[in-house]
Structure 1
Amino acid sequence: MFDTDEVLRCEGCGAALQVEDPGAIGYIPEAALNKIPVVCQRCFRIKNYNEMSSVTLNQDDFLKMLGSIANKKALVVHIVDVFDFEGSLIGGLQRFIGNNPVLLVVNKIDLLPKVSNWNRIRNWVQKQVKENGLKVAETVLVSARNNQGFDRVIELVGRLREGRDVYVVGATNVGKSTFINRLIRDYSDLGSELTVSQYPGTTLDLVEIPLEDGKSVIDTPGIVYRHRLTELLPKQYLKTVLPDKPLKPMIYQLNEGQTLFFGALARFDFVAGERQSFTCYVSSGVKIHRTKLDRADELYAEHKGELLTPPVLEDVEALPTWVKHNIRAKAGAETEVLISGLGWITVNNKNGADLVVHAPRGVKIAVRTPVL
């Protein structure tokens, strides 16, 4: 049994370990207590079997945890996903962290086409950050997976923290654990890496990585944003919807009155405007189907979950009903439409267009200037 005077924590997610309740956070069979590393049953199953548990962290506890940063002297490293920038940016972060400085790390730039203009992307990020009311000390573009930009992050952390603890925050599935694992592997004596999975919400409690000066890098649980399509989908579809290789732009020449279906996940209507091209940036696992607008409703009703996949019919029916978002691409302006968690569509003609996006209720739709 446990020594009640000592709290053991899972080396994967950071949760306090317990042997009493298999359905609660931190459960570990007594027989596994002497194994190395010591991980809860949930992390063991994720790592070894790609099996996702339904155990989650109470949202009130999470907000309380994040809000405690404001009362500490800390550097906040906010990781966002360049594939879903608006969907992964923490709204109102400043309210939680007070006057502590923020280092913005824009991850997964390996997903962007190799010919991308990085200065343009950095300027675009800074513009988006300003429009969202977030104050940042520095911004850096990285690929935690490919080790791109990581040395720059370490340099900035060393310069900005000034003896502070470092809190790493971000939404689920932005690559936060991959980033933390790089810190563990290269800059800490901690003997094992965090649990990395394609499933969101792996980290369930604070995980502290000791630094040489007695301070720590602290990994926090990912925020579950229900406005991201990936949070609404059954877990087995995440590998299909989330890209793992550079995006290949798909260009469609459309006449007004034509529609693009993105599997059975979303729909893009070109309602009115002169013939023009639209560039789609989505995972290669999402199949795009073009049809006429006047038969789009019929096509969806007859072929969702069959011709139009992912997901399959049973899981289509479990998603929230679609709602319409009317969008006007103004003449003379560059316009891009983000469907949070799915990707984005760039309007290539500056002569204007009337558009409608259909997506499951609650999914965030953002209209922005093009990132590329």
Structure 2
Amino acid sequence: MSKEETMYCAGCGVQLQLEDPGKLGYVPAEAFNKEPVICQRCYRIKHYNESSSITLKQDDFLKLLGHVGQTNALVINIVDIFDFEGSMISGLARFVGNNPILLVVNKIDLLPKVTNLNRLINWIQRQAKEHGLRVVDVVLCSAKKNQGFDRVIQSLQQHRGNRDIYVVGATNVGKSTLINRLIADFSDLEAELTTSQYPGTTLDLVKIPLDDGKFIVDTPGIVYEHRLTELVSKRDLTRLMPDKPIKPIVFQLNEGQTLFFGALARFDFIQGPRQSFTCYLSNAIEIHRTKLERADQLYADHKGVLLNPPNLEELENLPKLAKHPIHIPKGKVLDVQISGLGWIKINSDLGAELAIHAPKGVKVAIRESLI
């Protein structure tokens, strides 16, 4: 590759280089003549499902998003229904300018099959409004299962006009998977974007030409460290992120009882009438119940062993648990969400005093009940 020639990875969009294997965009000389040309990092993600420690810094992400407002585009904002609050991009309206926003809510295949989808759309519209996000449409889908994708295409055609399509979202919301499906419908391009369960897969703007001369533009996923999925090890990430419909688990609790979600988080029912709580989280996370008065000792004695994930070694790499006191007023049916882990629904309107213990920095939020 000559100095005059600039080429970009077909997978992640980063500028390619032949010199330094430790830097972004490295491609071995012998792989440079292959089609399409992808960097070594993308090659290892695609063929070996390996992660990489090379990611862009938060400031670089925001600079790239700032570019969106200077274009004439339909902005597809993809969020993860399993981590709705955690995957929302704060201040997105400032970045996109006057461009219309289509809110695509991915991974609905993870919700219990009894979920009322009309009620869910109304819930999402209210949540989006609370986040200051004015959207032209809300579409539910599962890019992985190809559910609801015809509705995504229909809404896109309705609201796009003669615009490029910019796709934005946090890491691990299914952005690249969705774009690959868009490519199949709107472009003759055969190459797929790099898709991976690890954060930071896309590193720069990736422009995919469409048949009408416009572009689909994939932007890097925003890395939010308030999501537990950004903090755990690669092995624990596969347990934390559901790959099949969630099986809700209901607990009838008296005040003074505690639930442990592995060693990742803890739910204390401190005070209130006996009532039920429903836990929505990956089926791979074991829940242990104990008395509140024994909770500290149980954690000290069994963290990383009985209480796992994570194991003892990986637990050392996580921030210490921080306590979040929570007041549930009477007359309200609410969820308590732990970003990246799931949520607990308070099933009655009797009121309760709770506490959530989660790694320091992880977002804990109270919201109107999703289900």
Q: TM-score scaled by structure 2?
A: 0.98
> Counterparts of 1:1-372 in structure 2 under 5 Å?
2-372=1-371
- Deviation per CA, 1:98-122: give whole Å up to 9, x if none: 1111000000000001111000100
Q: Which amino acid aligns with 1:178?
A: T
Q: CA deviation at 1:126?
A: 0.5
CA contact (8 A) 2:326 2:354 kept: yes
Q: CA deviation at 1:37?
A: 2.6
Q: CA deviation at 1:147?
A: 1.4
Q: Which amino acid aligns with 1:152?
A: R
CA distance in 2: counterparts of 1:210 and 1:370, whole angstroms: 41
Q: Which amino acid aligns with 1:191?
A: E
CA contact (8 A) 1:185 1:193 kept: no
Q: Which amino acid aligns with 2:205?
A: L
Q: CA deviation at 1:66?
A: 0.6
- Deviation per CA, 1:333-364: give whole Å up to 9, x if none: 11110000000000011111110000001100
Task: Give SS of 1:328's match.
Answer: strand
Q: CA deviation at 1:28?
A: 0.7
CA distance in 2: counterparts of 1:265 and 1:61, whole angstroms: 30
What are the ranges of 5 or more consecutive residues in structure 1 without an aligned counterpart?
none
Task: Give SS of 1:55's match.
Answer: coil
CA distance in 1: counterparts of 2:59 and 2:275, whole angstroms: 48
Q: Which amino acid aligns with 1:28?
A: V
Deviates more, 1:150-159 or 1:307-316: 150-159
CA distance in 1: counterparts of 2:30 and 2:309, whole angstroms: 41
Task: Give SS of 1:12's match.
Answer: coil
Q: Which amino acid aligns with 1:196?
A: T
Q: CA deviation at 1:165?
A: 0.9
Q: CA deviation at 1:4?
A: 2.5
CA distance in 1: counterparts of 2:295 and 2:370, whole angstroms: 29
Task: Give SS of 2:67's match.
Answer: helix
CA contact (8 A) 2:106 2:143 kept: yes
Q: CA deviation at 1:331?
A: 0.8
Task: Give SS of 2:34's match.
Answer: coil
What are the ranges of 5 or more consecutive residues in structure 2 without an aligned counterpart?
none
Q: Which amino acid aligns with 1:258?
A: Q
Q: Which amino acid aligns with 2:143?
A: A
CA contact (8 A) 1:88 1:170 kept: yes
- Deviation per CA, 1:69-112: give whole Å up to 9, x if none: 11111111000000000000001001111111100000000000
CA contact (8 A) 2:188 2:211 kept: no
Q: CA deviation at 1:261?
A: 0.2
CA contact (8 A) 1:180 1:219 kept: yes
- Over the matched positions of the two proteins, sequence identity in percent amounts to 64
CA distance in 2: counterparts of 1:197 and 1:72, whole angstroms: 28
Q: CA deviation at 1:7?
A: 1.5
Task: Give SS of 1:125's match.
Answer: helix
Task: Give SS of 1:368's match.
Answer: strand
CA distance in 1: counterparts of 2:138 and 2:3, whole angstroms: 44
Q: TM-score scaled by structure 1?
A: 0.98
CA distance in 2: counterparts of 1:318 and 1:53, whole angstroms: 17
Q: Which amino acid aligns with 1:336?
A: D
Q: Which amino acid aligns with 2:88?
A: L
CA contact (8 A) 1:105 1:140 kept: yes
CA distance in 2: counterparts of 1:183 and 1:130, whole angstroms: 27
CA distance in 2: counterparts of 1:283 and 1:323, whole angstroms: 22
Q: Which amino acid aligns with 2:120?
A: I
- Deviation per CA, 1:28-78: give whole Å up to 9, x if none: 111110123311110111111111111111332221111011111111100
Task: Give SS of 1:318's match.
Answer: coil
Q: Which amino acid aligns with 1:85?
A: F
CA distance in 2: counterparts of 1:35 and 1:302, whole angstroms: 54
CA contact (8 A) 2:203 2:220 kept: yes
Q: Which amino acid aligns with 1:257?
A: G
Q: CA deviation at 1:11?
A: 1.2
Q: CA deviation at 1:276?
A: 0.9
CA contact (8 A) 2:107 2:142 kept: yes
